[in-house]
Amino acid sequence: MSLALLQEAAANYGAFAAIGAGLAAIGGGIGVGKIGGAAMEAMARQPEMQGKLQGSAIVLIAFIEAVALFAVVVSFLAMSA
């Protein structure tokens, strides 16, 4: 393979990594929105369970955000490689 093909492939990996980071951020936002919406609906149905539902929702949101952040970091590492 020629040097030009290798440089073109490296440039494409950077673009794909940027797209992957964007998709990871969008996926995290969708996940947090679904968890928040479901938690609000559950609290509206059973207000006495608010404490347990809120705690569970916060833990789930933290997990979703951690996975999204991990995906963004991996995408940026792929971009720099």
Residues 63-73: what's their mean pLDDT? 93
3: in domain: no
15: in domain: no
10: in domain: no
Give the count of domains, the chain.
1
CATH number of the CATH domain containing 52 = 1.20.20.10
- For 5-23, the pLDDT digits (tens) are 666 666 677 778 888 888 9
pLDDT band at 76 (very low <50, low <70, confident <90, very high): confident
- Structure-block tokens of residue 47: 């207000």
> Under DSSP, is residue 20 helix (H, G, I), strand (E, B) or coil?
helix
- For 35-66, the pLDDT digits (tens) are 999 999 999 999 999 999 999 999 999 999 99
What is the distance between the alpha carbons of residues 17 and 63, in angstroms, rounded to a whole number?
22
- For 19-39, the pLDDT digits (tens) are 888 899 999 999 999 999 999
62: in domain: yes
Domain that holds residue 57: 24-80
